[in-house]
Structure 1
Amino acid sequence: MSEAEAKQIERMKSLLASQKSAFRAERHRPIDKRKADLDRLADLCRKNADAIADAISQDFGNRARQESVIAELAFVIQDAGHAKKHLGKWMKTRKVGVPLTLAPGSASIRREPKGVVGIVSPWNYPFQLAMAPLVAALAAGCRVMIKPSEYTPATGEIMKSLLAEAFEEDHVTVITGGPAVGEAFTKLKFDHLFYTGSTQVGRLVAMAAADNLVPVTLELGGKSPAIVTPSYPQDAAAKSIGWGKFFNAGQTCVAPDYVLAPNGSEKSLGEAIIKVAQHQFDDSATDDAYTAIVSDRHYERLNGMIEEARTGGAEILQPKHDAEAARAGRKIPPTVVINPPADSRLMTEEIFGPVLPIIGYSELDAATDHVADRDHPLALYVYSTDKTEAERVLDNTMSGGAGVNINLLHLSVPDLPFGGVGASGQGSYHGEHGFLTFTHERSVFRTGKWHPSRLLAPPYGKMYETVAKKQMK
C-alpha cells in the first residue's frame, strides 16, 4: 500500500466519523430538506450533462453521448423526480392492527433512516450506478459515502467535484482510489453497504461487511438468457435482442448474455441480429454511436473468448467493419457466435461485451431446464406471442427480473424492484424499494397506564387459562 493510499484510508475513516456525528445531530431529516437534496442532485445532472458525458467517454475511450444521456443522466433525473413526488407517502408511519388479546393498544411502523451508508459503484454505468443508490439514500434521510470504480477515474473525479459543490462533506462525499482503498472502504462500519459489481467481488464484499455485521445490498450479474419461442417473429426478436445486446457495447449487467432458439433457427436468427447491428452502425469501428470496450484487459478477454469458441468449431458472425480501426479504437464489432462449446468461457462466464452466443433447443422444457439448472440470472427474457407459453417460461425459471417480448427496460420502471436472486444478488432498489433499502422499519406498540396483559403474569390463574385456550384454538 502506498503512502497516498494509507492517507486516503485514514481520511475516509475520519469522514465516516464526521458523517455519523452529523447523522446523530439530525436523525430524522425533514421532508422539505430531503426534497431539496433530490432537487440539487437532479439540477447537478441537468447543468453538467455535457461535462459528465465527456468524462464517461474519456474513461471508455469512446462512449456514445446518446447512451450516456438516456441511460445515465436522464435516468437519475427521472429517479430523483419520482422519489420527490412520492416521498411524503413513503415516509408516513404505518398503523397496523392489534389482536383482540392485546387490546387496548395501538401498533405502528416508523420508517427511519438507517444512518451512514456506503455505496460501491462499478465502471459500466459509472454515473448512474452511483447516483441511483444515492437518490434512494437521500430520500431515506441518510448520509452517504461513495467509492466509484478506479477503472473510470474521470467520472469519479467529476462526481467528487460536483457533489462537493452541492453537498456538505458530512452529508455526501466521494472517495477515490485503487483496490486497496476499495477493500478498506468495504470494511468500514457503515449502517448499510450497497455494492454493484461482479459476483466474485460481491462475495468478498459480503464477507468484509460481515465482520461488522453491516447489512448489504449486492447488485451482481450472471448470464441473463433470452428465450425465443417458435411462435415469435424472428425479425422482431432480432431487433429487440440486437438493440439490448449492443447498447453500451454489451457492457450492461442486464443485457442478453446468450440466446436459446429453436433447433435449426440459430444461424438465421444470428444473421438477422447482425443485420440489425449493420443498420444501427454503418461501421462499428468508426461510428461514434458505438461504444468502445472500457479497458485493454477487458478487450483482450473478449477477443480471447471469441477465438476460443472459433477454435472449438463455432461459427462467428460479424458485420463488415474496419478491423484495424476497431483494434485502434478498442472496439469489438457486434458479434454472434453460433452454438459455441458448452464448456467454453462464452457459456460459463458472464460475457459483458458485444458478443452473443446462440444455442439451439429441442423443446421449450429443454430451454427452461437449461436456465433452471444454472445459477439464477439477474434477468431473463422470453419472446412469445402466446401468453400461456410466456407464463410457462416464467413459472419454470427464476431470475432477478424478467421481460416479455422486450429486454433491459424492466429496470426503467421506477416502481419495480431491481435486484438479483442467489448468485445474481441480494436485495433490491429503485422507487420505494430503494427508499426501503436504506430505511429501518421500526415496530412500536403503545398502550395506556394499565393493560390486561398484566392479568396473565404469574401466579397463573383462571384469566390465563381462558386467554390461552382462545389463542390455542
Structure 2
Amino acid sequence: KSADVEDAAARIMNGKTLNAGQICLAPDYVFVPEGKVDAFVGAAEKSVAKMYPTLKDNPDYTSIVNQRHFDRLNSYIDDAKAKGAKIVEVNPANEDFSQQQTHKIPPTIVLDATDDMKIMQEEIFGPLLPVKTYKESDETIDYINENDRPLGLYYFGEDKAEEDKVLKNTTAGGVTVNDVIMHISQEDLPFGGIGPSGMGAYHGFDGFKEFSHAKSIYTQSKSKMVAEMFRPPYGAKTQKNLASQIKK
C-alpha cells in the first residue's frame, strides 16, 4: 500500500513487456490494493506508451515465439473474458492486430482475475498481466503460500515492517524489492527456484558449489577399541555403551 503506484506500474510493465513477457521471471500476476486499480491501470498504460509508442511494426516490441504459443495466449484472454474478467488491451497507437503475420500481442491487463481462469492456472510466458485486489497484506501472503512456490517474488513499498512480514512469511526462489526480475543480475546472489519453480541455485560461489561435487574422505582411527566395539557378539558391555549414549 505504501508503494508509488506510478513507479511500481512502470517497473512491472517493463518486466512484463521485456521480450513480450517471454522470460521465466516476468511477473505472472500482480496484487493491487483495493481502490488503486484504476490508478495502476492508468500508470501501466502511460508507461507502455512511453516505452512503445507503437507496437505492431516496432522492433523494440517482441513477437510471440510461434503460432502455437500465440494461439495459447489468445485462448487465455478468451477464457478469462468468458469467465467475467475485464480485458484492458494496452495499445498506444490503436493498431489493428487482427491481420498480422508477426504474432504480436499487445500488453494485456486482465482485471477481476479469478483462480478458475486458465491464465491463473498455467505459466503465462507472454505479455498478459492478471490483476488481483486485496485489503490487507495477510491476504497476499496466504494466497502465495496456498499456491506453488514462485521463482520470483516482488514487493513494492516503503513500509519496512510490511516488507519484512511478507518476506519472512513467504517462500520463493528469489526476491526483488521495488522492482522485478533484477535479482537475477546480481552475481553474488544465488539464483534458482524452489519446489515446482526449480531445484538448486547458481551464480558466483553458489554456482561453483552447485556444479561441483564435495568428495568425502574419512580415515579410521588405529585404535582397536573403536573398531571392535561395533563387532559381535553383543552383550552386556554393548548394552552399557549404548545406554551411555542415550539421553533420557
Q: Same fold, TM exceeding 0.5?
A: yes
Distance 2:113 2:146 in 1: 18
The answer as to 2:68 corresponding to 1:297 is yes
Query: How far 1:281 sits from its partner (Å)?
Result: 1.0
Q: Greater share of strand residues, 1 or 2? A: 1
Tell me, what secondary structure is at the counterpart of 1:288? Answer: coil
Q: Alpha-carbon deviations, 1:219-254, whole Å to 9, x = none?
A: xxxxxxxxxxx1111011112111111111100111
| Match in the other structure for 2:105 | 332
Tell me, what secondary structure is at the counterpart of 1:426? Answer: coil
Tell me, what secondary structure is at the counterpart of 1:303? Answer: helix
Give aligned-pair identity as a percent: 39
Closer/same/farther in 2, CA of residues 409 and 461 from structure 1, 3 Å limit: same
Task: Report the TM-score, using the length of structure 2 for normalisation.
Answer: 0.87
Query: How far 1:471 sits from its partner (Å)?
Result: 4.3
Distance 1:427 1:369 in 2: 25
| Mapping 1:311-330, distance limit 5 Å | 311-317=82-88, 318-321=90-93, 322-324=95-97, 327-330=100-103
Q: Alpha-carbon deviations, 1:250-309, whole Å to 9, x = none?
A: 001111110011112122202211211110112021111111110011111112212332
Query: Considering only aligned residues, what root-mean-square deviation do their CA atoms show, in Å?
Result: 2.5
Q: Which amino acid aligns with 2:87?
A: I
Tell me, what secondary structure is at the counterpart of 1:271? Answer: helix
Query: How far 1:334 sits from its partner (Å)?
Result: 1.5
Distance 1:422 1:412 in 2: 22
Tell me, what secondary structure is at the counterpart of 2:8? Answer: helix
| Mapping 1:440-459, distance limit 5 Å | 440-447=213-220, 449-450=222-223, 453-454=226-227, 456-458=229-231
Q: Alpha-carbon deviations, 1:378-426, whole Å to 9, x = none?
A: 1111112011101111222221111211210111222322222222122
Q: Which structure 1 residue ranges, 5 or more long, are not aligned?
A: 1-229
Distance 1:326 1:268 in 2: 32
Task: Say whether the 8 Å CA contact 2:28–2:129 is kept in structure 1.
Answer: yes
Tell me, what secondary structure is at the counterpart of 1:443? Answer: coil
Tell me, what secondary structure is at the counterpart of 2:209? Answer: helix
| Match in the other structure for 1:382 | 155
Q: Which amino acid aligns with 1:407?
A: V
The answer as to 2:42 corresponding to 1:271 is yes
Closer/same/farther in 2, CA of residues 369 and 280 from structure 1, 3 Å limit: same
Task: Report the TM-score, using the length of structure 1 for normalisation.
Answer: 0.47
Distance 2:224 2:99 in 1: 77
Q: Which residue of 172, 186, 189 maps to 1:416?
A: 189
Q: Which structure 2 residue ranges, 5 or more long, are not aligned?
A: none
The answer as to 2:209 corresponding to 1:431 is no
Q: Which residue of 32, 54, 62 maps to 1:261?
A: 32
Distance 1:471 1:443 in 2: 25
Q: Greater share of helix residues, 1 or 2? A: 1
Q: Which residue of 309, 317, 333 maps to 2:80?
A: 309
Distance 1:464 1:356 in 2: 66
| Match in the other structure for 2:176 | 403
Closer/same/farther in 2, CA of residues 460 and 345 from structure 1, 3 Å limit: closer
Query: How far 1:434 sits from its partner (Å)?
Result: 2.6
| Match in the other structure for 2:12 | 241
Task: Say whether the 8 Å CA contact 1:270–1:358 is kept in structure 2.
Answer: no
Q: Which amino acid aligns with 1:391?
A: D
| Match in the other structure for 2:115 | 342
Q: Which amino acid aligns with 2:211?
A: F
Query: How far 1:430 sits from its partner (Å)?
Result: 2.3
| Mapping 1:107-186, distance limit 5 Å | none
